[in-house]
Structure 1
């Protein structure tokens, strides 16, 4: 008999024994103890209780008076919790609800049943949201469940803007509220949220809470609140702020704001969140510092403050071997697509396109989101948190074929499905989202009219996809057929920057590096000429953009620069203000790696990022 048969036999034997004992309980046979909770009786067996619970084992074997008692009264638990736990002991079934899980956890803690206590914590983590996280946090603190309290605290701080709007937070004690609003780590973008919370908490039971208002108000950073909001608070809460101490704090803050004095208060976590240019990739070369390697980090740049940071690259933890595309969702999630790492490939039968998501705060790593059928030179886009994998080059019967296939991934349903294909097969094309529609342009498409010429032609056609109709529409033509160009949406228009291409439709004429900027107006369905780049510029990958938009200005982050095919890597960051129509260099020889794959713009907090090497920043 092999090990698997032996294990299967043991498992069946155990289940059979459990079923027989459960039938004894149901028929009230061999019952030797009755548990009583909230007046409700639960007939059971000492042997079963002692087998599962060290608490009962000690009670029935250590000479306590309960050893000889027929009834054992349980004072610190509910009847519902005892019923659930006994059901688990006799049948292995364990059922929780949001309303019962904390009571069951307390009972499991009392009975010293670690497996149920752990399962309760796991359930609370899985069902945590803005309406219950604060209750879970203080519950975990009270029980000494350190891991649960840590996870709940992180969730509470990260979602504090939503938590402020819930009824649950109005029921906390004054010392608990004080502890929360003192923190610098709250993810709120405006101090008005904190002041509003304090007012709502006091007004929830003004008779008993009004006396706490002054000490709570001291923790609100009033000079970060808009003067209009402060004045409105004074007008609407005359009874509360009639206290001279409170009134003095408001007047002092208003005076400070009106005199334009710089505040010295620390910003909360959410107030530091800002839009950054992220140059994501797995190239680890080009940064040599005495302060350690930056090979597993990707360059980030804050163009408004001219500051450099780094983010953990997909290379770290072997999330992806290389990056081929990326998007930022409406919920500010960073999603990238590419090939699995060598280690992961060795564990797979077939190559796939892997999509990975970045943990924005705290964890700082990339996790696999999903996989799709393998292809190369594809585009990735996002509409309302659905992802679209468009076109590309696929290997079919040992031959590479350019495809028009489009797949849609629903992050809500965690599933892929095919949608309407591109009007023509495309590879190395670009895709952007504007007004909940996807615009695809550029790249290569197969040509069959001249069999002796190159098998592909560059594309200057643009297509618009409407997800609500699952339909494609052809738009106006670009002036140049091209690929390897940057693309971005500025003020509801699409900018196509540089690239390699030729004028008009590609009929086999000579191609060259371009300094041309073309701007597409979706309302009028036409392209116009924009301000030319200082020199011909190519993106660093064939199908990924090196451009991004922050605060209404367009930025071009490094690339290949030169005339014709003589390419030189430059690490300059160019800025275009659409109102000035003039390109300027805002960062010369930026601290980026020798190459990267995709430029994205996301709202991140510098506290969660890796600081630049001090020796290179000083230089």
Structure 2
């Protein structure tokens, strides 16, 4: 009897016995060895092309039929797998031993079925501009993922201004979320050219796709972009005024920022457009916006004339807004400050921050305390503080925070400056619930007060009516919609019963008209927000107000003359903004003002008195 390898290994001790009947190899002697190829694709194609070993016949809608192997189809398609081995097995014809099974596939042409089967057996798909649509549709219906994904890649790499609207409709009919997002993004980026190039295809879009394209906020917020949006809406409505005309007022409200258009353009290009003139409700909306635009223009003209007059009625210095610190694109820290004069809608360079502040200026907080502007630098290892007093030519360094922190909330009330929450320590650090207070008129030092109920970083903070509000922010992966409130008289914290309508981190906060406003920020899906909401302590609830024109997180906010200014911040695609818009609570609307000279996010902002 020949000696086996196993006997040799046993004798050498490489293979050991567990008992009398079972031999157990060492773990390193047990291996799964991959094969170079378990199936020869060319052999499989040869079997199919010659009709050998085929066990199913697929019949197309036009009656043409093709032999195939069930195992190949089931391995490539969830539809065929369910048909042959799952819940759809009863749909087959000719089951048994009398011949191959027959499957009827209504809705699939013979040409398409042939192309799909050929691609499965050759592992290659040949497409042309003439065939791509039917193969994409057919592979979607039959759930043949390899063919479907190949078609999606082909379409994505061949999107043009001429075909993007047709591809958009295809993705809406047959899925492919990634391709759909790509096409929507392409249409938004080339919006005006797309609509001009193929108005007929634009008019054929269903309302849902129209709203998706127009509602993305990706088009630059300019008057020309808004005019393009209006003309696109008008073109779509014009195709069927009877059915679509009633939608015009809603579409204008949702997708066209009419207040961005100059009065002359509003009058000649919008109010006089046939679809608007023929729609009394839409005409009323446009007339209302036109009236506001004319009033705003007259008000600006009056201000300009007043400034041209002798300045005897004016004080030595105007009130305005200061922005400072933060970062620009590429996370370059900014030491500069800039001031805005609302009377002539202009910006001027301000006093640069001290070099000692440089390490903590990417995210800063600031507030006005007794006529002096205090700025707190944000860093996990050092939080410097500086102040600029009225008439001073440079900033003065103050005592730093007790606990270094970044992404904190900063607010002032009754001559005291508060630093709230934030993050400290190396790496991602620890989220803080601690609060520090600074009393400039006393020792000039910082002291600890009661901790917040919830640790928060990237929060908003503001003082209103004897209370300090800490809202939104995050701890770990939790984004808060809750609000903690400190009673400045008793020194005790509580959590508001009502939450915000939207969880927000990197949220900006301000007070105007006796109400607390939460503006922009970022949600749990890391989408930046343009929405805003207000809290009135007298009502005890939050409610939505008009959204900003663009999403903003880490923006600067300041309240001046009964209006709230939102400045800079990050927007979609991490773009750092220089734009500024101001909220009028009486009209519940935003309007743009002159942009800042320097784009910045993570900035501090404060309303000025006589600085």
TM-score relative to the length of structure 1: 0.45
The higher-RCO structure (CA 8 Å, 6+ apart) is 1
Q: Which has the larger radius of gyration?
A: 2
Q: Could you say which structure has the higher strand fraction?
A: 1
TM-score relative to the length of structure 2: 0.45
